[in-house]
Structures are given as C-alpha cells and as structure tokens.
A and B are shown apart, each in its own frame.
Chain A
Amino acid sequence: MLKLENISLNFDEFSLKKISFKVAGGEYFVLLGKSGAGKSLILEIVAGLVKPDKGKIILSGKEITNVAIQKRQVGIVFQDYAIFPHLSVKENICYPLKANKIPKHKREKIVMDLAEEMGISKLLHRKPSTLSGGELQRVALARTLTLNPKCLLLDEPLSSLDVQLRNEMRDVLRKLNKEGLTIIHVTHDYQEAVALAQKVGIIHNGSIIQTGTLKEVFHTPKSKFVANLTGIRNFYNAEIVSNKKVVLEKKVEISTLPIIDNSKEGFIFFRSEDVVISCDKIDSSLTNSFRGTILTIIPTISGVEIVVDTGIIISSYITEQSVKKLNLAEGKKVWVSFKATAVEFIGR
C-alpha cells in the first residue's frame, strides 16, 4: 500500500538516513521515537510538504515522490491541528470539498455525515478560536477525511489531550482503521502504540532501527535503545474474565487492580523491575505468584535479566548479588511474583 524506500534527507544538524518501511492496506502503523528523532519529518515527506534528497515513496503501486502535495491523496493531521482561523468549523471542513469542486448538495451531506461521526455537529457555526484542543482535533480529522484519503498521517494526535479525550479519540481512530483506513501514527508514547498499533517502527536519530508487530518489538528489542524506549518485556494478550481477573495468552490467570475499561480484550504489561524472584513461595502482599523454570540469565548494564517460563514467559531484572544469593542458574525451578498494582491494562 505505502512503501518508503531509502528516503534520505540532510539538514545541517540533522539527517534522515535511508528510511525504509512498508505499511499494508488497512494497517495501523505507529512510528515510535523520542522527540527530535525525525518522526514528524517522515510524515511531512510522505505528504509531500518536504522533498527528500533521495529515495522513493510508493503509494498503491505508484511512485509519488515528485507528485504535487495537492495530488497525493494522503491526508495529514498536524499536532497543532492547523485549523484555518478565519473560517468557521463548517467552512474548514468544506474547504477540501470546495477546492476539489464537489457540487454543493454533495458537500452538505458529506460535512453533516462527518460532523455527526466526529461528534461536532453542534460546533459547525463556531469559529476555531472558541474551540478546545479536543474539538479542534476532531475538526482537523473531519476536514482531512472529507476526501477519503488513501492513507491518513497523524502527528502526535493524542499527546495534548486529557485522559478522557484521549480514550475517546483512541476509539475514533480504531473505528476509522476498522473501516479500512490505512493509518500512520507518530508518537513518543509507547502506550499509544500498545493501544492502537498493528505494526510499529522504532525511529532513533533519523534512522528506523526496528519494525515489526508489537510483540516482536517489545519481546525481542533489537537494541538497548528499543528496550529502553518501550521498557516492556512482560507484554501479553489479555482477556478480561472479571473486574480484577485477566487471562494472559489464554494460559495464565492473574489478579489486577479493578479494570475501568469497556473492552473485553487488550494487552497486559508490567515492568521487569516489578517482578520478584524467590526459591520458595513467599507469604506476602504479592498477589500474583507462579512457579516456573529459568530459561536464560542475561547480564545487562544495570544488573541481570532472568527469563522464566511459567506457561507464559516472564522477565525479571535483579542484581548480581541476588543471583549469587539465590544460587540461580538456567533450568532451576523458581517462583516469580508481582503485585496487582504493578500490572497495567490497555484495552483494544
């Protein structure tokens, strides 16, 4: 669907180096990286706002690297929304329809339908200066969607919203994606990737250092940077069975804090630092305890990572002293425990 091949761009103090990735039709692709990594620049290159020095962009089998911005059929929503301040909400949404000479009676219907879908019908006659950030974003999204773009590019779409609005916007984005829209979403927040992505690309200093499914990237980070960025080794498909019980990978049931989320499925993750290893079962406040076998012991910069098979694979970070004290070795049977409060759930 969308393919970037060896896109390079040099500035004085920053450069994009041979950026290549593929996004399949209908896929939700999240580009994850710290600020200044070059994420937004990639979106602008795909949209045609910035010309790369080298490389190709292919959309639906056609090369669009040198196609004019207005003919690319790629919609972009900026972090600051870029709503035209002198036009009303309705005029903003109508703008692309007028620019593309859609007849008036069709324009009305498209605007009304999209406003309804985005929940902004009541705002149509307002001026942008009177809207909140969340409302502006919906207007920007509605405006971009009027022309049915082949691919939607989102620059940090959730970062400036409060928790409530963020959840609502996640639902909107999921719905759009389910309806078949290909989405590339740029963010610095791995939780957004977890909540939305089918595939992720990790970008660092102008290079893409890993792409793959969420599990591939989180379970087998190709570099220390990726591991630190996501920080998550214990990452599982989850099914809610009750308010405080979740089944991981259809194998192991764990306890959590009460889950306030309407979804039935999602992901569970917890940090390796929160996992305790012991030789015997301990009587403590740790509500989740499982017996398993140590698969590997991997030295890291800050200590040691112990990987235990308990039916699901669980990783724990402990100190070298603890390894010696407990006499840990590969193949040894141990108990792994973690608190319900250490567990995070993100619904899908």
Chain B
Amino acid sequence: MQKQSKFQLVIIFLSGIALLFIIAPMFGLMFSSSVSQLTETVADKEVQNSILLTLTTAFFATLVFSIAGIPLAYILARKEFPGKRLVSGIIDLPVVIPHTAAGIAILGVISRNSVLGKTAGAIGLDLVGNPVGISIAMAFVSVPFLLNAARDGFVSVPVRLEKTALNLGASPLRVFFTISLPLASRNIASGAIMMFARGMSEFGAVVIVAYHPMITPIMIYERFGAFGLKYAQPVAVIFVSVSLIFFIVLRVITDRKTD
C-alpha cells in the first residue's frame, strides 16, 4: 500500500513536469505583451493580411488534398496489393524529413523550369512566391496526418456493413458515399483538422517556396530577426489565439456532426 502511494506520487510529479513543459512557455508567451501592444498589432493591416493568408492557404491545401487523399486512404484500408507497405511508408516520408529539405523538393517541382511550373506559367501563374505555391508546400508536409487518420477511419468501418449495402442493391460508389465515408467521417474530420493545423503552422517548407507573400510563422520569424523578441511576441500571441479559437470551433462542429 505504502509502495503504491509512493509510486503514484512519482507518477503525478513526472506528469506535472511534462504538462508544465508544454504549458509554461505558452503561458509565458500569452502574458508577454501588454494590452496596448496587442491592440496595436491586431490593428496592423500587415498582420491581419498575413493571418488571413495563412488560414486560407492552409484551408485550400486541406480541401484540395482531401479530395485526392481520401480515395487513397480507402484503398490502403481495403485493398491488398503488392507494394502496399512501401506506399504506406512513402506517405509518412514528409513527416520524417527536415522541412527545409521538403521545401527544396517542392521548389524543384514547382519552379519555373519544371513541368508543373511551365504548365502553370502557360496560364500566367508563377507558383513560386504565390499563395498556390504556399498551399502546395503546406499540403506536402501535412497531408500524412489526413491520410493516416482517414485510413484508420476506413479500417474501423466493418466490411460486413459495406457488403450488406451491396447485398441491398447499392452500387460500390453509393456504398462508399453512404456507408464507408459517413462512418469514417469522425476520423477524417479529425485528420483534416490536424492537417489544417500542421499546414498553417508550417515554416521550413514554406519559407523556401515563398518568403513573400508572408504567412504568419514567417512574419514572426522576420520580426524577431529584424526587430527582436518584443516585436515578435504580440504577433505570436495573436496567431496562437486565432489558431486556438479555430481549432476549438472546428472540433465542436465536427464532434456535433458525427455524434
């Protein structure tokens, strides 16, 4: 009994340290700036535009790559094929490589001399230094979160329900949209939120593809480098707050929908 309670104390102590490690810097950051500094930063058009750009580029990255990624996740969950393990490994690749390296890789694909760059150029679009390029860089590093969550979601849908739907005369396409997708939607939504979150907080890959227009993580870095900590902190506080509000709202909406 004595041993048990000592053990529990150690557990609680270590858990407290781990939590404090996350909370303390955030807490410190939140109270680092005065109210006047914060209001001034909120009113700053440059900051406003930057946050808006970050949110929209991350949103479109998530939206566009969801459409392409969800069928891939379904195939990985349901089909057996040679090289499946390799494909699963490739999906995780963007998470494990340095993000600046990811940025270099993306730049190679979208630069003016690449096939994609030339095609975009033909319709007057320069992907480098463009919101589209930013979205691509964000998607590259964040799409594994969506793919893995969606795959787990599809795996959790009993195959028997899909087969029952087929037995009831539904086409495979209908079964996908009326049974598999709705039943996996909680995982997919949570994967999409993670992808969105990871995308909007990306720095390394985006900074190589597009320094300008400036997404907020780059703006924070630039203000820190050019003017120092005091100038970077209010932007960081506002960006973190906006992100938190966004995630809480998204979570509440998706939880309600899937309940």
Which residues of A are in contact with B by a Cβ distance under 8 Å? 47-49, 68-72, 74-76, 78, 80, 82, 84-86, 95-96, 99-100, 143-144, 147
A82:B166 contact, CB within 8 angstroms = no
Judged by a CB distance under 8 angstroms, whether B78 is at the interface is no
Encode contact with A along B173-189: 1 for CB under 8 Å, 0 otherwise.
01000110011000000
Judged by a CB distance under 8 angstroms, whether B171 is at the interface is yes
A84:B167 contact, CB within 8 angstroms = no
* Listed A/B pairs (28) with beta-carbon separation below 8 Å: A47-B167, A48-B167, A49-B166, A69-B167, A70-B166, A70-B169, A70-B170, A71-B169, A75-B167, A75-B168, A76-B164, A76-B167, A78-B160, A80-B160, A82-B160, A84-B165, A84-B179, A95-B168, A95-B178, A96-B169, A96-B170, A99-B168, A99-B171, A100-B169, A143-B168, A144-B168, A147-B168, A147-B169
CB-CB under 8 A from B178, the residues of chain A are 95
A74 to B168, CA, bound (A): 9
CB-CB under 8 A from B182, the residues of chain A are 86
CB-CB under 8 A from A143, the residues of chain B are 168
CB-CB under 8 A from A74, the residues of chain B are 167
A99:B167 contact, CB within 8 angstroms = no
Chain A residue at minimum C-beta to C-beta distance from B168: A96
- Known contacts A95-B178, A99-B174; is A82 also within 8 Å of B161 by CB? yes
A84 to B166, CA, bound (A): 13
Judged by a CB distance under 8 angstroms, whether B84 is at the interface is no
Which residues of B are in contact with A by a Cβ distance under 8 Å? 158, 160-161, 163-171, 174, 178-179, 182-183
CB-CB under 8 A from B163, the residues of chain A are 49, 69
CB-CB under 8 A from A78, the residues of chain B are 160, 164
Which interface residue of A68, A69, A100, A144 has the most chain B CB atoms within 10 A?
Answer: A69
B181 smallest CB distance to A (angstroms): 10
A99:B169 contact, CB within 8 angstroms = yes
A95:B165 contact, CB within 8 angstroms = yes
CB-CB under 8 A from B161, the residues of chain A are 82, 84
A48 to B168, CA, bound (A): 12
Which 6 pairs between the two chains have the least Cβ-Cβ distance? Answer: A96-B168, A99-B170, A69-B166, A82-B164, A100-B169, A49-B163
B160:A70 contact, CB within 8 angstroms = no
Chain A residue at minimum C-beta to C-beta distance from B179: A84
A7 smallest CB distance to B (angstroms): 18
A251 smallest CB distance to B (angstroms): 47
A82 to B160, CA, bound (A): 7
CB-CB under 8 A from B165, the residues of chain A are 84, 95, 99
CB-CB under 8 A from B166, the residues of chain A are 48-49, 68-70
B183:A70 contact, CB within 8 angstroms = no
B171:A49 contact, CB within 8 angstroms = no
A82 to B167, CA, bound (A): 11
B33 smallest CB distance to A (angstroms): 46
A85:B183 contact, CB within 8 angstroms = yes
A84 to B164, CA, bound (A): 9
CB-CB under 8 A from A75, the residues of chain B are 167-168
B57 smallest CB distance to A (angstroms): 33
A80 to B182, CA, bound (A): 20
Chain A residue at minimum C-beta to C-beta distance from B178: A95
Chain B residue at minimum C-beta to C-beta distance from A44: B163
B87 smallest CB distance to A (angstroms): 25
Extra A-B contacts (16), CB below 8 Å, given A49-B167, A147-B168: A69-B166, A70-B167, A70-B170, A70-B171, A76-B164, A78-B160, A80-B160, A82-B161, A84-B165, A86-B182, A95-B170, A95-B178, A96-B170, A99-B169, A144-B168, A147-B169
A202 smallest CB distance to B (angstroms): 26
CB-CB under 8 A from B169, the residues of chain A are 70-71, 96, 99-100, 147
A146 smallest CB distance to B (angstroms): 8
A147 to B179, CA, bound (A): 19
Chain B residue at minimum C-beta to C-beta distance from A49: B163
CB-CB under 8 A from A48, the residues of chain B are 166-167
Chain B residue at minimum C-beta to C-beta distance from A50: B163
A49 to B165, CA, bound (A): 11
Chain B residue at minimum C-beta to C-beta distance from A85: B183
A332 to B35, CA, bound (A): 112
A104 smallest CB distance to B (angstroms): 17
A251 to B251, CA, bound (A): 75
Chain B residue at minimum C-beta to C-beta distance from A144: B168
B25 smallest CB distance to A (angstroms): 41
B155 smallest CB distance to A (angstroms): 16
Chain A residue at minimum C-beta to C-beta distance from B172: A70
Which interface residue of B158, B169, B174 has the most chain A CB atoms within 10 A?
Answer: B169
A100 smallest CB distance to B (angstroms): 5
Chain B residue at minimum C-beta to C-beta distance from A95: B168
A71 to B168, CA, bound (A): 9
CB-CB under 8 A from A68, the residues of chain B are 166
Which interface residue of B160, B163, B182, B183 has the most chain A CB atoms within 10 A?
Answer: B163
CB-CB under 8 A from A49, the residues of chain B are 163, 166-167
A84 to B161, CA, bound (A): 7
CB-CB under 8 A from A95, the residues of chain B are 165, 168, 170, 178
Chain B residue at minimum C-beta to C-beta distance from A91: B178
CB-CB under 8 A from A71, the residues of chain B are 169
Chain B residue at minimum C-beta to C-beta distance from A96: B168
A78 to B183, CA, bound (A): 19
A144 to B179, CA, bound (A): 16
A143 to B169, CA, bound (A): 11
B160 smallest CB distance to A (angstroms): 5
Chain A residue at minimum C-beta to C-beta distance from B158: A82
